Each structure stands twice: as structure tokens, then as C-alpha cells.
Amino acid sequence: MKIESRLAQIGSQNDPDTGAVSFPVYQSTAFRHPKLGQSTGFDYARTKSPTRKVLEDAIAELESGDAGFACSSGMAALQTIFAYFSQGDHLIVSLDLYGGTYRLLERIMSRFGVTASYVDTNDLDGLETAYQSNTKGIVIETPTNPLMMITDLELVCTWAKKKGILSIVDNTLLTPFLQRPIELGADIVIHSATKYLGGHNDVLAGLIVTKGKELSEQMAILHNSIGAVLGPQDSWLLMRGMKTLALRMERHQYNATAIANFLQKHPLIAEVFYPALEGHPGHEVQNKQSSGNTGIFSFKVKDARLVEPILRHIQLIAFAESLGGVESLMTYPAVQTHADIPLEIREKVGVDDRLLRFSVGIEHVDDLIADLDRALSLAQAELEGGA
């Protein structure tokens, strides 16, 4: 079955008792044992919960993995995976990484003896240099956020396998509709499902998919022991969002491509970072390993003084953190999502005060371009008036 069909059918035929097309929300925490030592498969909601299980099975199948785990946020998913490692272990992590991941590693995991090196994960020589005898895993974001750098997953996962380390791929921006890292050799896929999978800026959630029996069993133990699991209502809302994933991603991508092209030609814009554009350094690899492009991109304005008035003048596009929702959002990474990353790392990758990130929604593209065009003109007029 094609992925569009599988997405639309999530949970649809799973309730044998009533035939309900929408899977019920099992708000129950405890489950009666038919007899001592016997179980219905459900004992306590932290360990396994019926609504959450439908979601977990769906994401595992969509990502071509063996087991899925739903967590209370993307960071909770990452934290659960990090608990797989021990004191003295070392990780290699994408240089242009999400601020929350950096914070978790540097402020919390570091206190428990887990260290990390931040490198361009697409540079094999750099990976060799960063590799240490205690390296146990590599965490890859592709495309990265916000600079949309692409990593060749097949190449790097093969390298990781040779080294005997776990490869963990954050697939938040592309979703299994456009990219399936496990098919390219990854061991673990992680999602902030708050973004495209949920798609409506109304659910905070994280997902983990593992490949292999042993790894899946170990992850199940960690998931249950740490207890950062997703609630039943949020599990249900997330499945509801995922049913329209294909439709949304197609529209996100169409809008983003049109707007990226518009901005690339705009006189106030210095640079547009979007792998769908032909001049993007990762364009070819992206086309090889994914069936399309994400709905967010970043761009640099020519003058940092334009940022504040642009954000003030956008009307249809909201100025807010997060991405991947049906509504368009503009983020200023240097002060919002990436504020916790030290200036030297941010500048090394190019997250500076001229960079804006645009999560393109599914509104009509003409309205979005008009809103942006108007905000840019007003910002320019203010700048000239003030100068």
C-alpha cells in the first residue's frame, strides 16, 4: 500500500468491538488482569496504553522500523534515547543543531559524563577526526535547522556501522512521507511530532522508531522506566494530524518553493537556504535520498536592522517559535530557538542576527507572498526614513 493510503488509515480499522473508524481515546491508567499472571497485553498506562500503541505501531511501520515509542515531547524522546548511553560515552552531533538538543547535552547529559562533539555530519574526514575510542553514537539532523545543511544518510550510516556506533537521525523536518532514514541504514529515527506529523501547532509530542529486536527491547525498557510517555488525548490528536500528512506536506513544499524563489530575487534578501533551490550545496543529495522538500527554509536579510520591522509588519504570518503547522510562522533563531547555543558555534554555522526562519503554512501562496512583500517594503521605508 502507498504511504498516502497508510496515513489516511491510521487507527481506522483497529477497534474490533465497535468498528469505530476513529480509534477511541483510552484514558484509563490501570487495566484489569483477567487472572493473576494473565494480562490483556495492557497492565499500566506508562508501560503500554491502547491509544498510544496504535500511534506507536503506525509510526514504526511508516518509518520502516521495528518498534515505535511515543513521548511527551521531542526533547523527551531525545532524552529517552540519550539514557541508552552511559557515563564515559561520547556522541558525535550535527554542528547546526536544535538549541534544545545542545542544551540537553551540555547542561544535563554532561553532568552524567556523556560528552559530545559538534561537527558537520556530512564531512567524513571531520567525522573521522571527531571519532574517539569511546564514541557510541552519531546524531544527525538532515536538513539541519535552521541552515538546511544536508547529510548523505547512506554514506554516514554506513560509516557508523563500520565503526560499530548507533546512528540516530532526526527526521522532524521531512517526515516519513518524504524521507525514511532506516531504509538508508539508520538505527533510530526521532521526531518532534509537534511539528509536521501533528501539523496543527496543537500537540506537544515526540516519537522514536528503532530498528532491530535488541535495540527495540532496550528502548522499551528505557521508555517505561523514565516514564516520559505521551498521554492518550495527545496520542489521538497526533494520529488525527498524521492522517493529512501527505496533503499538507505537498502544499507546504509547493508554497515554500514559490516563496523561496520570490525571496531569492528580492533586493533586500542576501541569501536563501532551501535544498529545493538548484544552487543549494545539498540539492543533489537531498534529491537522491528524499522524495521532496520540507516546508521550512531560512533566509538572510542584507541588513540586520530590517529584522525587527519585518517581524512587526507581517500580519498573516505569525511571529512565534515552532514550525510545521498549517499556519505560517516566522522565527528569529538567534534569539528564540537557538539562544542557548554559544555565539561562537552559532556564528560558525551562520545563525547570525540577519537570519530568519520561515515555516511556510498551507494558506494560499499569493497571500503569503503579499504579506511578506508588504512587510519588506514597510521595513525598507522605515530604515530609509530613520537613516
Partner 1 sequence: MSTSNDEKRRAQAKFATKLIHFGSEIDEATGASSVPLYQASTFHQADLEASQEYDYTRSGNPTRQALEDYIALLEGGERGFAFASGMAAISSAFMLLSQGDHVIVTEDVYGGTYRLLTTIMNRMGVESTFVDMTNMANIKAALQPNTKAVFLETPSNPTLKITDIGAVAAWAKEHDLLTMLDNTFMTPYHQRPIELGIDIVLHSATKFLGGHSDVLAGLAVVADSSLGRRMKQIQNGMGNVLGIQDSWLLIRGMKTLQARMEMSEKGARRLAQWLSEQPDIDVVYYPGLPNHPGREIHEKQSLGYGAVVSFDVGSGERAKKMMSRVRIPLVAVSLGAVESILSYPAMMSHAAMPKEVRLERGITDGLVRYSVGLEDIEDIIEDLEQALRG
Per rule CB under 8 A, is residue 190 in the interface with partner 1? no
* Long-range CB contact pairs, 316-320, < 8 A, 24+: 316/363, 316/367, 316/368, 316/371, 317/358, 317/361, 317/368, 317/371, 317/372, 317/375
Residues across the chain = 387
Per rule CB under 8 A, is residue 12 in the interface with partner 1? no
Distance between CA atoms of residues 211 and 208, nearest Å: 10
Per rule CB under 8 A, is residue 245 in the interface with partner 1? no
Residue 278 gets which letter from DSSP? T
Per rule CB under 8 A, is residue 214 in the interface with partner 1? no
Distance between CA atoms of residues 206 and 77, nearest Å: 5
Cell 500500500 locates to 1
What residues are annotated to the active site? 46, 98, 170, 195
Candidate segments 134-142, 175-183, 218-226, 260-268, binder of partner 1 by CB under 8 A: 218-226
Q: What part of residues 76-105 is at the interface with partner 1 (CB under 8 A)?
A: 76-79, 83, 86-87, 100, 103-104
CB nearer to partner 1: pick between 213 and 312: 312
Maximum C-alpha span of the chain: 80
Residue 184 gets which letter from DSSP? G
- Which of 6, 9, 24, 46: binder of partner 1 (CB under 8 A)? 46
Per rule CB under 8 A, is residue 198 in the interface with partner 1? yes
Q: What part of residues 292-331 is at the interface with partner 1 (CB under 8 A)?
A: 307-308, 311-312, 318-322, 325, 329
CA dihedral 62, 63, 65, 66 (to 10 degrees): -30
Query: Rounded to 5 degrees, what are φ and ψ at 158?
Result: -65, -45
Q: Smallest distance from the beta carbon of 363 to partner 1, in angstroms?
A: 15
Query: Per-residue x/- marks for partner 1, 51-80, CB under 8 A?
Result: --------------------xxxxxxxxx-
* Per-residue cell: 23: 480509534
- Which of 45, 256, 276, 360: binder of partner 1 (CB under 8 A)? 45
Tell me, letter by letter, the H, E, C secondary structure of 130-175.
HCCCCEEEEEEECCCCCCCCCCCHHHHHHHHHHHCCEEEEECCCCH
Distance between CA atoms of residues 97 and 77, nearest Å: 16
Query: Rounded to 5 degrees, what are φ and ψ at 362?
Result: -110, 20
Q: Smallest distance from the beta carbon of 119 to partner 1, in angstroms?
A: 22
Q: How many CB atoms lie within 10 A of CB 3?
A: 17
- Which of 138, 228, 249, 349: binder of partner 1 (CB under 8 A)? 228
What's CA 43's distance to the chain center, in Å? 31
How many of the chain's residues bind partner 1 (CB under 8 A)?
A: 70
Q: Smallest distance from the beta carbon of 26 to partner 1, in angstroms?
A: 9
- Which of 93, 156, 230, 372: binder of partner 1 (CB under 8 A)? 230
- Which of 4, 13, 21, 113: binder of partner 1 (CB under 8 A)? 113
Per rule CB under 8 A, is residue 165 in the interface with partner 1? no
- Which of 55, 153, 229, 245: binder of partner 1 (CB under 8 A)? 229
Residue 34 gets which letter from DSSP? S
Q: Smallest distance from the beta carbon of 231 to partner 1, in angstroms?
A: 4
Pairing mode, strands 296-301 and 206-210: unpaired
CA-closest candidate to residue 95, choices 77, 128, 124, 117: 117
Candidate segments 5-13, 24-32, 126-134, 260-268, binder of partner 1 by CB under 8 A: 24-32
E strand or H helix at 65: none
CB nearer to partner 1: pick between 13 and 233: 233
Residues that bind partner 1 (CB under 8 A): 27-33, 35-37, 43-46, 49, 71-79, 83, 86-87, 100, 103-104, 107-108, 111-114, 194, 198, 201-204, 206, 221-222, 224-231, 233-234, 237, 307-308, 311-312, 318-322, 325, 329, 332, 335-336
